[in-house]
Structures are given as structure tokens and as C-alpha cells.
Amino acid sequence: MNPVSNDLALEPLGAGDLIDRAVRLYRRHFLTLIRIAAPPVLVSALGWMLATVAVRELGSAASELEVFVYVIALLGGIAITISGSLFSLIVMGGATRNLVSHLLSNEPVTFRTTYLAVKSRFWGLLGASVLVALWLGLSASVGSIGFSILWFVVLMAVALGSQISPWLTTLVFILATVTAVSIALVLFFLLAGRMAYVPQAMLVEGRSISSAIGRSFNLASGNVKRLMAMTLFTFFATYSALALFIIPLIFYGWVNGVNLSMVGGESPTWYTIGYHVILQCSHILLAPIWMLGLSLLYVDERVRHEGYDIELMAARQLPEMPKLPGVVSPFAPALVTGRAPQFVAPPPQPPHTGTVLGLN
């Protein structure tokens, strides 16, 4: 086996191992991954810029026609931003297929391979991405409701305890706030993680949308900690990169007399646009880590639940399984190909009656 395959040997991964493996893959394929991740982020950046300009100019519109134009521009910017986010989910499926091909037969990770995989199932991936986005919104709502309920309990406890000891009340307030935020995050990721593997199941296993959703729900058990760790790592890394890149903009604004205490609509338009451009650039740099992390997490779940490492090793060494008439495997293929049919669920078995030997 070649060094790359050894370096990417499959084994169950903890949160730290997952991040480490994603970072190593990111370093090895840096320029390629930037090219893969850039188009969706650039689409979102275009939407942000259009919406920002429309909001800034809407308040100073001199006629109803200008108001109408800026409202249309605002709605268009929001639509483009949402499209970019959906595009990111679509590309994630193609990246997973490319990664599994890399693990399976050491195929190179390329921009062309990823986007050809996306093109092959684009409309199905688009529908799945819309469903995933709606599910994420529902998960965020449930997390917010959980936080609101716990926050109300915290405020009641603080109101009752404020008459006893101010120091104790402050300590309880801090601990209760951290607990409420943690529980809200757990609720969100517990629900959101159920749909984390839909694009991957479609591209790697060749499933339909409904089958991929069911597959994702079955695989996503016990992934809350690792998904939270991956999300928090990517979040802090993104905003660390943003803080690094934003310093020159802040300095340039300060030199040109921009009051850095201004926020919202009071800051100059060029400064706001520059901030969003830098934010999207930091997303371009860090989006591949999130993309790789979810891809590796999908592979890891199959290793844990199905012995996917053994299946991949067998697929490396052995020819394709022969097709037997009347026999449908209940297991998904290591990687569905042009020679292998898309996943077909096995026919339901009649209920068993009689003794163990089938004798009545």
C-alpha cells in the first residue's frame, strides 16, 4: 500500500483525531480545496455585497423608483446568499465522493472530479440541500426555544436569590447561563446532525433523496460531540483568520478618519463592504476544513457501524462483486460507480412462522 493510503488509514476517530485528519488533508491539497470551496463562497459574498449596498442606499432613496430598485436588489442579494449556502451543501457531497475515491483507489483530489460528481446529481442534491436547510432552521428554532425556557428559569432564580447573597447570585447566574447555552447547542446539534450525511449518501451510495435522509438518520447516532467540536473549531478558526485579515482594514479606516466606534448603518459603505469581503475570504480559507470534516465524519460513522474500513480494503484488493439473480445486498456499496447500480433496498421478508428449522 502506498504512503498516502497508509497515512489515511481508516479507523474510528475521536473529535481531536477528526480535526487533525482534516487539517492534514487540507495542508496536502490546499490549493485544490480552495478552488473547490471558492465558488459557493463567492456566490454568497456577491449576495452579501448586493444586500449591504441595497440596505445602505435604501434610507437615502430620493424617489419611489429608487426605493423599488433597492428593495429588489435587497431581495436578490438575500436570494443569492441563500443560493450560495445551498451550493456549499451540494459541493460537500461531491467532495465526499472524491475523498472516498481517494481512500479507495488513491484517485487524485481535483476540482474537475468533484464538480463532475456534483453535476451528475445536481438537481437531486439541490432538493436535498433545501430539505437540509429547512431542517437546520427547525433545529435552530428548537435550540432557541430550549434556551429561552432555561433562561427564564435562570432569571427567576436570580430574582429570588438576589435578596440572599449578591456574590452567590452572580456565580449562579454565570453557571446557569453556560449550562443554558450548552444545552441549547446540544439540542441543536442533536437534531441538525441527523441530516449531516444526506449529500454524502447520495453521491457515495447512489441513493435517492428519501433514502439518503433515512440513511443519514440511521448513521447519525452518537455524533453530537464530534460534530460540535468540528463546528466550534471551524467557527473559531474562521474568526481568528478574520481578526488577522481585518487589522489592515481597521488601520486603513483609522488613517482615513473612520470612527471605529461607528456601527451598523453609520459606518462608511466601503468599510462595511470591505469587512464582508474579508469575512468571505476567511470562509474560503476555512470552508475546506468543514467540508473535509463532514466527509471524514461520514466515513467514520460507516467504519463504526458497518466495518467500512474492511469493505474499502476488500474493494481495493478484490474485483467487483458478481451480480447474482434474485439476490440484493442489504449493504451499501463502498462507492457506487457506473458499473454498480444505485442502491436498491432489499425486498421485505415475510414474517417468520414455525420453528427455528422452519418446520410447523
Give 249-259 pLDDT, tens digit per residue. Answer: 877 777 777 66
Q: Are 98 and 105 spatial neighbours (Cβ–Cβ below 8 Å)?
A: no
Tally Cβ neighbours within 10 Å of residue 80: 19
**Region of residue 14 (left: phi > 0; alpha: psi -120 to 50; beta: else):** beta
- pLDDT mean over 206-220: 87
Domain encompassing residue 108: 13-311
pLDDT recorded at residue 326: 53
Tally Cβ neighbours within 10 Å of residue 317: 8
Q: Do the domain assignments include residue 357?
A: no
Q: Amino acid identity, residue 194?
A: R
For residue 174, which phi and psi values (nearest 5 degrees)? -65, -50
Q: Decide: residue 181, CB within 10 A, 0-12 exposed, 13-18 middle, 19+ buried.
A: middle
- Residues ≥6 apart with Cβ < 8 Å to 159: none
Q: Do the domain assignments include residue 359?
A: no
Q: Do the domain assignments include residue 293?
A: yes
- Residues ≥6 apart with Cβ < 8 Å to 182: none
Q: Do the domain assignments include residue 325?
A: no
Measure CA 354 to chain center: 49
Q: Choose between 108 and 165: higher pLDDT.
A: 108
pLDDT digits (tens, 9 = 90+) for 170-180: 777 788 788 88
Q: Do the domain assignments include residue 208?
A: yes
**Domains identified in the chain, total number:** 1
Report which of 115, 126, 132 is spatially closest to residue 36, judged by C-alpha positions.
115
pLDDT digits (tens, 9 = 90+) for 128-151: 888 988 998 999 998 888 888 888
Q: Do the domain assignments include residue 243?
A: yes
pLDDT digits (tens, 9 = 90+) for 45-89: 888 888 888 887 777 777 888 888 888 988 999 999 889 888 888
Q: Do the domain assignments include residue 195?
A: yes
Q: Do the domain assignments include residue 328?
A: no
Q: What is the DSSP letter of 320?
A: P
- pLDDT mean over 211-233: 83
